[in-house]
Amino acid sequence: MIPTNNQKLINWVKDIQAMCAPDSVVWCDGTKAEYDQMIKIVVDGKLAKPLKKRPNSYLFRSDASDVARVENRTYIASKRKEDAGPTNNWVDPIELKETMKSLYTGCMKGRVMYVIPFSMGPIGSPIAKIGVEITDSPYVVANMHIMTRVGGRVLEVLGDKGEFIPCLHSVGKPLLSCQDDNGQWPCAPLDKKYISHFPDDRSIWSYGSGYGGNALLGKKCLALRIASAQAKDEGWLAEHMLILKVTNPEGKSKYIAAAFPSACGKTNLAMLVPTIPGWKVETVGDDIAWMKYGSDGKLYAINPEAGFFGVAPGTSMDSNPNAMHTIEKNTIFTNVALTEDGDVWWEGIGYDAPGTLIDWNGKEWIQDKENKGQKPAAHPNSRFTTPAAQCPSIASNFEDPAGVPIDAILFGGRRPSTIPLVHQSRNWNHGVFMGSIVGSEITAAALDLKAGTIRRDPFAMLPFCGYHMGDYFAHWIKVGTKSTPDKQPKFFFVNWFRKTKEGKWLWPGYGDNSRVLKWIFERCDGVGKAVETPIGFMPTLDAIDRPESVSAQDMQELLSLDKDGWKKELADVRSEHYPKFGSKLPKELHAQLDDIEKNL
């Protein structure tokens, strides 16, 4: 029985059924029984293994060609090429749909077609959006149960006339009669994988990959690429940002959103355990923030996701104890290693591999303690999918449909020099300038780029913005005109990654980052000590509680203004970075650049 009277949805499902030719169609209801049934299907099919050491947790191993987002197969198919901009792969939407229709035709033969109604954000929230994903993957259904809100309540809110974002997905591997996957991860070859976004008609088509953001279409595809285009048209913000709640010893709380490129400690910050007495940090979201102005002129944010899809390697009791406790049960692991006693292991977990493991390729693996070029047991992009609600640091109001009021927005990158530990923008447009130049330094491990150069990732949105980034910057400038400075969040740039010339870390990071959050909290109240500099406001030497491991000399270095370094930084922005955006780069950002150069 079809559980909705929404004719647009019914017609779309029928059209996809006719094209993809599945053996049957199942409308998902989001119940535990349904989740358990999906898990039974993949366990019986030898695609997943129960983990003896973790209740209701399972390990999957994907195909070696299907281990991460495939950026070179990800498309923004706007009607006009110039709307996609220089940082996106563009294909004409008519041409792309014809190509993909030929692949979709008959692609679900031998499989079940699942229809997943889901809400990004608390169901019924004025900031939330409804999507419907069609998929032939029970792995996707199970993950969507964790990452989104699935089921009948979503269809009730959708109603007979409500709008939804259609998301079509197939693993791209039809089955012959009486055939199954024989324990092999189903996907199509790399050159047949397509992750396609059509911002003009608000739809997503994904083919050939069963992994991560390529297949869980509520995540990067809807929550960022399509939502960012919607947000531009509707006057709000869809951002690649964590949301955390900071409470001081007096019980006063503030909310902070933060955008960092990958490998810059975003999840660790979202779940931080403070080292300063009396302060508390709670998690609202670890990856995505949707923000709209409330009637009071403040910017309110929701985390549109219901779970965490985190990178496993490097996660440990030292780096992120809250994440480690979150994944003790009810968790899906993909491409990590399996221990002899039925637990998981990965590089950076904090202890040596216990005996002989089965690596992510399904082969025996014994740790080489000297690590002489040994391939990792867990894939570097191996993941855990786990419910946000079971995180020990989750904020009690993380599902408040009204969202939380954002007091500060942070940007950051992995920069061993030039960028100080923290500095604050002078105003909104200066904050947008900060976000527009975010970058991390390339290491010698990146063979395609010169070591020491900066890989720019504006607002940490480079792979996720659904339209021209020059227009994206202009949208941020415009959003800043919709309220007054006294009600808007303040902008900060942080850098936990400063090093000495000898390569020693100047700042301990992790829980001690709470000391920087404390100063940011105080600045939002107008009481934190600061000095104005050409790059913005910086803490005085005594403004931040200094950890015992940081010398006074190191603190001086962390909070010093490197004028020569900044001149080189701005010259790089002017000659290499900003020209990419051509005439669409807002004049306000050119003005910020001119102003800072002049002040230096």
Q: Cα–Cα distance between 382 and 313 in angstroms, integer?
A: 7
Find the distance separating the first CA and the last CA of the chain, reported in whole Å.
Answer: 69
- Round to whole Å and give the CA distance between 262 and 457: 10
The CA–CA distances, whole Å, from 35 to 57, 111, 209, 330, 343 equal: 12, 18, 21, 11, 22
- 201: its two tokens: 């008609």
Q: Identify each DSSP E strand in 434-506 by its residue range.
A: 439-441, 454-456, 490-494
Buried b (16+ CB within 10 A) or exposed e, 581-598: beebbbebbeebbeebee
Amino acid at 199: P
Cβ contacts of 517 within 8 Å, gap of 6 or more = 246, 256, 272, 274, 279, 281
For CA atoms 37, 40, 45, 48, give the dihedral sign. positive
Q: Please indicate whether residue 264 is annotated as part of the active site.
A: yes
Q: Where do we find the tokens 């993809």? A: 20
**CB < 8 Å & 24+ apart, contacts of 317-322:** 317/350, 318/350, 318/510, 319/268, 319/348, 319/510, 320/267, 320/268, 320/271, 321/271, 321/273, 322/271, 322/273, 322/283, 322/391, 322/392, 322/393
From the list 395, 555, 408, 377, the residue with the least C-alpha distance to 492 is 408
Spatial separation of the C-alpha atoms in residues 312 and 379, rounded to whole Å: 9
**What are the beta bridge partners of residue 302?**
290
Q: How far apart are CA 511 and CA 198, in angstroms?
A: 41
Q: What is the DSSP string of 384-433?
A: EEEEGGG-TTB-TTTT-TT-EEEEEEEEE---SSSS-SEEE-SSHHHHHH
Beta 364-365 vs 357-358: how paired, if at all?
Answer: antiparallel
Q: What does the chain come to in residues? A: 600
The single residue listed with the structure tokens 């049960």 is 329
Two tokens at 285? 């979201």
- Residue 459's Cβ-side half-sphere holds a number of Cα atoms within 13 Å equal to 26
Catalytic hit among 264, 391, 465, 524: 264
Both tokens assigned to 512 = 């001690």
The number of C-alpha atoms within 13 Å of 328 and in the hemisphere containing its C-beta is 10
Residues annotated as part of the active site? 264
